[in-house]
Structure 1
Amino acid sequence: MGISLKRWLLEKLGGGVERVSSADVETGDFLGLAAEIHVRELAFWSCVNIVANAVSKCEFKTFVKHEETRGPEYYLWNVEPNANQNSSAFIHKWISQLYCHNEALIIEQNGQLLVADSFDRKPYALYDDVFTQVQVGDFTFNRTFTQSEVLYFRLSEKNMRLIANGLYASYQKLIDYGMRSYRRSRGQKGVITVDTVAANGWQQEYENIKNRNFKSFFDAENAVMPLFKGFHYDDLGSKTYSNEGTRDIRAMIDDVSDFTAKAFGIPPALLSGEVQGTSDALDQFLTFCIDPLADMLQEEINRKRSGYGGFSQGTYLQIDTRAIKHVDLLSVSTAIDKLISSGAYCINDIRKLTGDQVIDEPWAWQHFMTKNYATVAELLKALEADTG
């Protein structure tokens, strides 16, 4: 268990290889590295799960000639992309690959959509990029894919996971210092007095006492430790430590979650589970994280699966993010009344927005408007009639 294993761990988890040196080969250091990785992996995967859960709640609407339809394409994206995954599992893998590697690849085989676990990409400026060594599960395709044959998604120009890990590498020093200080304050300390009579050859005896007797003595809840003639132990006691010490360490670990959330565009309040200000935080999350992500995903899907010909005729896919936010009907009843009475939405539009089944009646698709609404021309005409 040396430097090669540590290097492998850090490379697999995204960066930090430059931190490994020949001084890092001790088992204690390796366990510390493992604990450090758990902290940052918890923050990272919490963010990934929040984004993936949000996208999986979206409805992938399909349109043919500007009419919303629920055909095979709708079923493919919303129910069963392939024989081994439902849409939620498929989207979680898709989003995880996108944020882990800053890119994701989806291929279509026999009418099924598959998210690649790994692939090699050869970019070109004027020709289609080429993808080789495409692996899905335990199967590697022995063919070459071109850019026009696949759905290729790139999250951003910079891999934010590597940047967040670099920031964490510096911040981890503060967390390590806080943990070491806490352990030192909790430890037992004492002084051994050695008489001159026992001075000759006392080092060997001291080593035996320290490594065997004292360890058992300090670890046990109730114990008695024998001391030989010429040795006297004075207990200095342990410092009383308040709960605020562990709170300080917890606060620093929460800081790791905060700057990881910022790298994702997620308000830190959502990651920490704070209730206060959740509505504003959710609006910010949808505006600056989910909506741009959904826009990028649907652009790639439309340009590859519909093309300009289909898109110009009204055949396209739209990722509807409105279903992410929970709707409390009692709290939005006034707003619903305004949406219907203004003629902006029909009854079935509102029912779909709130997650209810549409009413299969012609009147449910009609738009209504109260008599309070009128055009300026109509108002002037009515005013002239009254004054005449």
Structure 2
Amino acid sequence: MGWLDKVLRRNSELESLFDLDLIDETNHRAYLKQMALETNINFIGRTISQSEFRIITDGKRQIDDWHYLLNVRPNTDQTAAKFWQDFIYKLIDENEVLVILTDNNDFLIADDFERVEYAVYPDVFKNVTVKDYTFARTFQMTEVLYLTYNNKKLTNFMNGMFQDFGDLFSRMIEISMRNHQIRGTVGLNANQKLDSDHQDKLQAFIDKLFTSFKKNTVALVPKLKGFEYTEVSKGDGKGQSIDEINKLKKTLVDEVANILGIPTALVHGDLAEYETSLKAYIKFCIGPLIKKISDELNAKLIEKADYFKGDRIEVRGVAEMNPLEVADAVDKLIASMAYTPNEIRGKLGDEPSSDPRLDEHYQTKNYQSANTSEGGEN
């Protein structure tokens, strides 16, 4: 028996006080990881959800069942915008996404599946689960839409570096709360014996007292015989400021944005670098994603022979320029015979006009061939 045990045994009332709980608080910062992911992935998802999927057959845009599935109602429970936003979220968050076509012609995003890979045959997907339903059949790779994101940086970062960010953020919060904390002491009459029943009542009273201090603007403490509460500190207000805590959260969001290729100025709404950031975002982040989606759609929904004839699925509505902002450039491109009007319409995301004159090249009067030697009178 140690010396502390001997001292405590001499005063059983004092020993019982060591069993009282004065504070019990645990902090979990898992929401930091979710915040960083939600902010950045949903930013990309909202962008892709504005896309328009165009099915081109024989040089003309087709409005058919595939157009309806891709642009209006992929399934009975989702609109096209919600479907593609969920599609992008799962693709980036889980590094892969599987979409199946049911017998009712519904596009469904799989929540879980098992992929069986083969060397010379198409891969097979088994145990495909959507919500609470698991399909008994297997799906061939040629029957589904399957994309991988291949971003190991994101996975490694979120699994490794986040632990340090979470610990640091928790420490900053704890320091800030401790420096704003109201502290007090509770004095008890040690000559009064505390049996188990009295100790439980005293513990309940202390808990009620501290809860009142924490939640109420005005808290009154009743004076009890043998019980005395003394406030020793009201907090000095020093420590980590709210700005420093916000900077840490912003840094975590920025790190994830850099991995995904999103300019941080767009995420935080910095209008000073808006135009430059938007161009970089469309070219290096959204452009590759649109290419992945369009390649998969063309490979699975368009036959090889039809693709060679010019049939294809195009993803429009995101990467194109605003015609009002580039009107001067459009005029120069047409006037220099670099493009026809219909070719310009295609680059701006509009459908070609049926007017045959818009398929011709035009040249303004102040342009002429370098080999031409006509005088000014001609």
Is the Cα–Cα contact under 8 Å of residues 96 and 149 in structure 2 kept in the other structure?
yes
The answer for unaligned runs of 5 or more in structure 2 is 1-23
Written as runs of structure 1 = structure 2, the 5 A alignment for 1:334-373 is: 334-347=328-341, 361-364=355-358, 366-373=360-367
1:43-73 superposed Cα distances (whole Å, 9 cap, x missing partner): 21222222122212223233334x2422424
Q: Does 1:188 align with 2:182?
A: yes
Partner of 1:70: 62
1:312-367 superposed Cα distances (whole Å, 9 cap, x missing partner): 222222223x63567372x4332232233234455566567667887664445554
Q: Which amino acid aligns with 2:92?
A: Y
Written as runs of structure 1 = structure 2, the 5 A alignment for 1:1-388 is: 28-29=25-26, 32-33=27-28, 36-65=29-58, 67-72=59-64, 73-110=66-103, 111-156=105-150, 158=152, 160-161=154-155, 163-190=157-184, 200=191, 210-213=206-209, 215-217=211-213, 219-225=215-221, 226=223, 228=225, 233=230, 235-241=232-238, 245-320=241-316, 323-324=318-319, 327=322, 329=324, 331-347=325-341, 361-364=355-358, 366-374=360-368, 378-382=369-373
CA distance 1:52–1:216, shift in 2 (3 Å): closer
Is the Cα–Cα contact under 8 Å of residues 58 and 324 in structure 1 kept in the other structure?
no
Residue 175 of structure 1, CA deviation: 0.2
Partner Cα separation in structure 2 for residue 51 and residue 82 of structure 1: 22
CA distance 1:223–1:98, shift in 2 (3 Å): closer
Residue 100 of structure 1, CA deviation: 2.5
Of structures 1 and 2, the larger Rg is shown by 2
For structure 1, which segment, 165-174 or 175-184, has the greater mean C-alpha deviation from structure 2 after superposition? 165-174
CA distance 1:228–1:112, shift in 2 (3 Å): closer
The answer for unaligned runs of 5 or more in structure 1 is 1-26
Partner Cα separation in structure 2 for residue 62 and residue 154 of structure 1: 23
Partner Cα separation in structure 1 for residue 204 and residue 75 of structure 2: 65
Partner Cα separation in structure 2 for residue 317 and residue 125 of structure 1: 29
Residue 81 of structure 1, CA deviation: 3.1
CA distance 1:70–1:368, shift in 2 (3 Å): farther
The Cα RMSD (Å) is 3.5
Partner Cα separation in structure 1 for residue 243 and residue 96 of structure 2: 37
Residue 182 of structure 1, CA deviation: 0.7
CA distance 1:75–1:218, shift in 2 (3 Å): closer
Residue 250 of structure 2 aligns to a residue whose secondary structure is helix
CA distance 1:137–1:381, shift in 2 (3 Å): same
Q: Which amino acid aligns with 1:303?
A: A
Partner Cα separation in structure 1 for residue 231 and residue 134 of structure 2: 68
Is the Cα–Cα contact under 8 Å of residues 113 and 125 in structure 2 kept in the other structure?
yes
Is the Cα–Cα contact under 8 Å of residues 287 and 319 in structure 2 kept in the other structure?
no
Would you say how many aligned residue pairs link Structure 1 and Structure 2?
346
Is the Cα–Cα contact under 8 Å of residues 128 and 148 in structure 1 kept in the other structure?
yes
Q: Which amino acid aligns with 2:372?
A: K
- Structure with the higher helix share, 1 or 2: 1
